[in-house]
Amino acid sequence: MFQDMIIDSLTGRRLNEMFGLLYNYFGPQGWWPAETTVEVIVGTVLTQNTNWNNAAKAIENLKRRELLSINALHSLKETELAQEIQPAGYFNIKARRLKNLINFFMECCQGDLSLFFEGNTQTLREQLLSIKGIGPETADSILLYAGNRPVFVIDAYTYRILMRHSMCDEQSGYHELQETFMDNLPEDTQLFNEFHALIVQTGKDYCRKKPVCNACPLKEWEADSRQIF
């Protein structure tokens, strides 16, 4: 699907090799696993500081009560929302963040997400980041997976994998890592979607805090010993 990418930079070639190894090993990931745009957005908040299985349980609770809509979530009391999303952990904090996000959508576009996503990507990102509790990773996940915008999402797995392969250092920040991908790969929403999902899968299965290097699909990926950026 992405074999014909034209990449000129050393960093781009290294990332292309990384993507190829992961894609050939895991296959397409089909992210984000959700039925609606609202479900994607809710999921980006619920996955903060937890694994997807816990977030999925919380989402199922909301589905069971038919609460996965902007209007339903807006009408729901924060304390009630917190009870429904308990499996995701930090449920009081996440309920507050979700309410902040939902209230924002109600104020800016009367809860019409299609209207919200008509804006340009940079403006949307700035708006999302202005919401209390919504950081770069969550904002970019909303843009990529709910808004289909070519924005690369950086998470702890991305940092860990690049760090272990000498492609970044301890001082590398979110935006620096994001630029590494976005400045050196084609601006392609589907590519960014698959690449991030593959990184998450690799981090979960192999590049853990205690890594499983011998079985990792990136064991043959030897990054240049020089710092790439």
Query: Domains in the chain, please, with CATH?
Result: 10-29+153-215 (1.10.1670.10), 37-146 (1.10.340.30)
Which positions ≥6 away from 89 have C-beta within 8 Å?
A: 49, 50, 54
Cβ(146)–Cβ(113) below 8 Å: yes
Matching residue, tokens 């977030």: 55
Q: What SS3 class is residue 131? A: coil
Q: How far apart are CA 95 and CA 80, in angstroms?
A: 9
What is the average pLDDT score of the chain?
93
The confidence band for 222, taking pLDDT boundaries of 50, 70 and 90, is low
pLDDT in tens, 69-104: 999 999 999 999 999 999 999 999 999 999 999 999
- Check whether 3 has a pLDDT greater than 80: no
- % of the chain exceeding 90 in pLDDT: 90
129: CB partners within 8 A, 6+ apart = 135, 136, 139
State mean pLDDT over 116-132. 97
- Confidence band of 9 (pLDDT split at 50, 70, 90): confident
Q: Render pLDDT for 136-192 as a digit per residue (tens, 0 to 9).
A: 999 999 999 999 999 999 999 999 999 999 999 999 999 999 999 999 999 999 999
